Amino acid sequence: MNNLLNSLNKREKNLIFIALFLIGIGVLSYFINNITTNLNFSSKQLDKAKSDYEYVVSKAELLGNNALSQSSNIEEIELFIRNLLQDSISDLIIVEEDNSLMVSFKTNNLKESISISDEIAFRLSRELSNIYYSKNAKDFTTKLVFN
């Protein structure tokens, strides 16, 4: 092989090196193009999967909220709130009296009480008539009254 390269003149050697260089660039550009095409396709599939997942989750939440808002069973509502906010609240009490529903719970701080109150009101899809916040020595008590 070495004899073959030595027997070629300078112009022929340069042409062979240029041809090999162009073939290398062609192969490299083919692989780069293939990789970017696969990446774009995967990205589109990921976006579609995310969209499908968000659609299913939103419909499931809507269905759950509708079922919960129509439910008058206190045990179902209590179970739903406990599952939804199990680590954030304590001393959950739900009482129904005079066609109104009272939800009482304790949290660590006022900001947490407000965000949890918003979440419960949104999830129950009922008309919120009163909200009471009170601070104890170490926690906050929140009472929500729904009509």
Amino acid 66: pLDDT: 61
Pick the last residue of a domain from 16, 39, 68.
Answer: 68
Q: Are the beta carbons of 126 and 102 closer than 8 angstroms?
A: no
Host domain of residue 19: 2-68
Report pLDDT digits (tens) over 88-132: 778 888 888 877 888 888 888 888 888 888 888 877 777 888 888
Count structural domains, the chain.
2
Task: Clarify whether residues 142 and 76 are in a common domain.
Answer: yes
Is the pLDDT confidence value at 43 over 70? yes
Query: Per-residue pLDDT for 23 more than 80?
Result: yes
- Which of 68, 98, 118 lies at the terminal end of a domain, its last residue? 68
83-102 core/surface letters (b: 16 or more CB in 10 A; e: else): eebeeebeeeebeeeeeebb
Q: What is the pLDDT of residues 51-90, one digit of tens each?
A: 999 999 888 877 766 655 555 577 777 787 777 777 777 8
CATH of the domain at 107: 3.30.70
Supply 48's token pair. Answer: 């579609």
More confidently predicted of 36 and 103: 36
Are 96 and 41 contained in the same domain? no
pLDDT at 55: 92
- Same domain (yes/no): 82, 63: no
| Residues 22, 28, 32, 33, Cα dihedral to 10° | 50
